[in-house]
Amino acid sequence: MRFFIIFLATIGFMVQSSFAAFPDKTIRLIVPWKAGGGTDTIARGFVGAFADAAGVDVVISNVVGGAGSKGVIQVQQAKNDGYTLLLNGTDTIIGLNTFKKMPFTADSFEYVGGMYTTPTYVLANKKRGYTSLMDAIEKSKKRPGELIAGVAAKYNAHDVMAHAINGYAGAKFRIVAFGGGANLKKAVLGNEIDICIIHAPVALAAVKEGILDVIGTGGSLKNITHPPVKNIKTLKELNIPAEIGVTRGLYAPKGTPKAVMEKLSQIMEKAAKSAKFNKFGNNFGFSPVWLTGKQFRALHDDGMGQYADIKAKFMSK
């Protein structure tokens, strides 16, 4: 009996000390999108601060495919030791689970935390002359189906927001998917479309230059680094009951030990609040934030409910 207790105590001590030592080897951050996109750029802006806080090397792997699902699945199936993490935006898990059948749900992961929140905003070329989102909505009502609302892709946050605007506010925009943010940005800069619904801070330079106007937003722009647009009215303030945006954060495989999760959370908080990441974030367009794992998870639950609601009401046909 005594031997058994000593044995258990030894095992317990070994396990505890192995967690206490975490991390002691390279951490792999999986980004489920191609290099050069928004999430990838934020990940590369974050990785330096994260590595400094962790005290070990951190590498980024772009695991592409399946509309972002391949990388998510790879983390879902990874060893739950905290050394393989997913760095992604909330909209992937929410969107894929709302519109496609996936082998994962929001319950398939542990949530380390969030560090970069950007709302989805509405841009219009200055030449269009819209004074606000309501102005554009009213004009669309007068010419049903003629005014174009450009979104990057079907069934993503932009598309959901466009349908919410059409559905809740009675707008009559023709929603056109442009197959990617770069194409959509080109279309709005070239004055090819009436409004462009895209994640902030895309094309912020053109906003600063006065070529594009921010006329609406799916969430608060208080953290944006361009003061003139901080107070743009949100959809909710325009009586459109939707809050659309994306928060980038870290996910770990389900069952990652509590001690490892706590350590990861400490590391991530330190990195999110670091001067290094703040410098990058402010240059990219938004001040970084720190959301705990619980808060980050709650965003998914809210988003799932909201997307399901908008899908049922306005996107079911």
The amino acid that residue 259 corresponds to is: A
CB of 187 closer than 8 Å to CB of 150: yes
Give the nearer residue to other proteins in terms of CB position, either 58 or 235.
Answer: 58
Shortest distance, position 41 Cβ to other proteins, whole Å: 4
- The dihedral sign for the CA sequence 291, 262, 64, 95: negative
Burial class (CB in 10 A: 0-12, 13-18, 19+), 170: exposed
Shortest distance, position 52 Cβ to other proteins, whole Å: 12
Tokens of 209: 């230059």
Shortest distance, position 192 Cβ to other proteins, whole Å: 6
> What does the angle CA 107 – CA 25 – CA 248 come to, to the nearest 5 degrees?
40
Going by C-alpha positions, the residue among 161, 26, 41 that lies closest to residue 95 is 161
Give the nearer residue to other proteins in terms of CB position, either 227 or 239.
Answer: 227
Shortest distance, position 68 Cβ to other proteins, whole Å: 9
Give the nearer residue to other proteins in terms of CB position, either 209 or 237.
Answer: 209
Give the nearer residue to other proteins in terms of CB position, either 193 or 260.
Answer: 193
Give the nearer residue to other proteins in terms of CB position, either 270 or 276.
Answer: 276
Give the nearer residue to other proteins in terms of CB position, either 106 or 153.
Answer: 153
- Residues engaged in binding other proteins (CB under 8 A): 30, 34-37, 40-41, 44-45, 47-48, 61-67, 69-71, 73-74, 99, 103, 145-146, 148, 153-155, 174, 176-179, 182-183, 185-186, 189-190, 192-193, 203-206, 208-209, 211, 279-280, 283-284
Going by C-alpha positions, the residue among 24, 310, 20 that lies closest to residue 169 is 310
Cβ count near 241 (within 10 Å): 12
Shortest distance, position 13 Cβ to other proteins, whole Å: 37
CB of 159 closer than 8 Å to CB of 151: yes
Going by C-alpha positions, the residue among 41, 132, 125, 114 that lies closest to residue 271 is 114
Shortest distance, position 35 Cβ to other proteins, whole Å: 4
